[in-house]
Structure 1
Amino acid sequence: MKYYIILIVIINCIIMSMVDAIIMPPYFVKSFIKVLLFTVVPITFYIKSKDDSLRTMFIPKMNGIIFSFVIGVIIFFVITASYFGFKNIFDFSNVTTSLTEDIGVNVDNFMFVFIYINFINSFLEEFFFRGFAFLTLKRYVNKKFCYIFSSLTFALYHVAMIFTWVSPILVALAVLGLFIGGIIFDYINDRYENIYASWIIHMFANLGINTVGFILFTTIS
């Protein structure tokens, strides 16, 4: 089973990266493809293999939810404060151009994208990278490998989306941050055995990033 999970994660990340960086369909089409790859394919695996981790990863634990809410709020303020701290050091002007030309995000549809990324996209990624590629995979292989594999694929997957947005230095820093964030998310899920805790933190992180995006659209566009 472990080889099926590893192959599914790698292949789906490659396909989604090609969609993001090469094919670049309209945002709605890209989102539909992501739903298929990050939910339908793993669920098919669960049905075929009769693995019950799909059920257990959706059992909430209130202490984990409260903890994640507090951490999420802190992360939101760290992200937004970091933008204001570094905006005079790094050039962020290419972000809005890349979002419009490469992804099709603009001022008119930004609020739709804002809501989708914060709630739906964060769930898709948590289910796929933390639920499927970590909580389920760790049933079959060494836990240390699961930490590295889940976090590394999560970080590298995002390169296709951000490599044209900012300078290579910022891309490298973003990938490092995503890898460390993935490790932290995996640890939280490992502790609480569900994806709700990391999903809440992920939502707040996306909220912070999208708040910065909104600021950029309103000040640069």
Structure 2
Amino acid sequence: MKKIILVSLLSVALMSVVDGFINPEYGIKSMIKIVLFLMVPLISAKFGATQNMEALLKPAGKKELAISFGLGGTVYLVIIGVYMFLSPYIDLQGIKLALKEDLGVTRENFILVALYISFINSLLEEFFFRGYLFLGLLKITARLKAYTISALFFAIYHVAIIGSWFSPLIFVLAMTGLFVGGVIFNFLNEKNRNIINSWVVHMMANLAINTVGLIMFDFL
């Protein structure tokens, strides 16, 4: 248990430094994330972690996939609805400026970045937070502890990314949503011990956020 938590804590801390202080351009940041969220867990698992990392990507059943896509569609609509409700309080121009200055994300490259975030970045995060951390802890510690630690790490990881985007109230709401989302993702994976179901929902959530991005960059 200590090894999984320590490796996860160090990876999240290092990624937070990259996101919050170093701010490399998005391609470099993505390569660092692949190392910390994919290569490090694979190496850790090879030298003593309890989970079978290859099994995390085994195909989900048709029923489970249908439920995941249904839930994912609901999440998409909820996020878009929340955005529409809170849009008067969200500074899209400020977010757009922060993306350009911190990550080099502009209207010209946003579509490529959005596709990466929706499909690849979501898979990396599911592999790390749900596959390595949650399912690994679930085998060696209490269920509530596994749920809480993994969801908390998932929320904390996003602090460095979105901490400067919103007002304090909206930020707290976002962090609460991320924690609850982490719990839901864990629940989707607990039965089958893979990450496919949560990846589908996470992907749909990212697609919703990127839909807001399309509005922000005047594509819609």
TM range (shorter): over 0.9
Q: Which moved more, 1:119-128 or 1:75-84?
A: 75-84
Q: Which TM-score applies when normalising by structure 2?
A: 0.95
Alignment of 1:155-194 (within 5 A): 155-194=155-194
RMSD: 1.5
Query: Quick check: 2:76–2:208 contact (8 Å CA) kept in 1?
Result: yes
> Does the CA-based 8 Å contact 1:94-1:166 persist in structure 2?
no
- Structure 1 length as normaliser, TM-score? 0.94
Q: Deviations over 1:52-83 (max 9, x none)?
A: 52133222222211110111111111111221
Moved over 6 A (4+): none
Using the TM superposition, give the Cα deviation of residue 98 of structure 1 relative to its aligned residue in structure 2, in angstroms: 1.1
Q: Give the superposition deviation at 1:218.
A: 1.1
For residues 90 and 58 of structure 2, the distance between their equivalents in structure 1, rounded to whole angstroms, comes to 42
Aligned to 1:114: 114
How far did residue 48 of structure 1 move?
1.6
Q: Which amino acid aligns with 2:48?
A: S
Closer/same/farther in 2, CA of residues 50 and 165 from structure 1, 3 Å limit:
closer
1:141-196 deviations in whole A, cap 9, x for unaligned? 11111100000000010010001111111111110000000011111111232100
Q: In 2, Cα distance between the equivalents of 1:144 and 1:52?
A: 18
| Distance in 1 (alpha carbons) for counterparts of 2:152 and 2:51 | 25
1:133 is matched by which residue type in structure 2? L
Which structure 2 segments of 5+ residues have no match?
Answer: none
| Counterparts of 1:196 and 1:190, CA distance in 2 | 11
Contact 2:16 2:157 in 1 (8 A): yes
Aligned positions, number: 219
For 1:210 and 1:107, how far apart are their aligned partners in 2?
12
Provide, for residues 19-76 of structure 1, a one-character-per-residue CA deviation record: whole Å limited to 9, x for no partner: 0010001110000000000000000012122745213322222221111011111111
Q: Aligned partners of 2:89 and 2:205: how far apart in 1?
A: 22
Percent sequence identity over matched residues?
41
Residue matched to 1:85 = 85
Equivalent in the alignment of 2:218: 218
Partner residue of 1:10? 9
In the alignment, what sits opposite 1:145? 145
Contact 1:13 1:157 in 2 (8 A): yes
Distance 1:10 1:176 in 2: 20
In 2, distance between residues paired with 1:50 and 1:114?
A: 33
Q: What is the one-letter code of the residue matched to 2:22? A: I
Stretch deviating more after TM superposition (134-143 or 195-204): 134-143
SS at match of 1:66: helix
